[in-house]
Amino acid sequence: MRRGFWFVAGVGAGVYVVVKARRAAETFTPDGLRDRVAGLGVGAHLFAEEVRTGMTERETELRERLGLVLDGPRELVLTEAPEGTH
């Protein structure tokens, strides 16, 4: 019984190591590196998009809070005094 257990444990560990080694080897092939770089580019694009969205939302929130409205390309006009300023 003990020998059978250790045999099965050894086979399982060997299969695990072979699978991990094969995946690691595939990572460093030209196709694997190309996939990694492409994935990194997609991730960077998504992150930049999220940052831009957050900046726009925060700018809108601040403009509403301060009572500022964009009037024209770059002119800000104060519509009314913000609450608590008087």
**Domain residue spans in the chain?**
2-78
Q: Which residues contact 78 (CB under 8 A, 6 or more apart)?
A: 67, 68
Confidence of residue 20 (pLDDT cuts 50, 70, 90): very high
pLDDT score for 22? 93
Identity of the residue numbered 45:
H
Half-sphere exposure of 7 (CA within 13 A, CB side): 4
pLDDT score for 82? 62
Q: Which residues contact 33 (CB under 8 A, 6 or more apart)?
A: 27
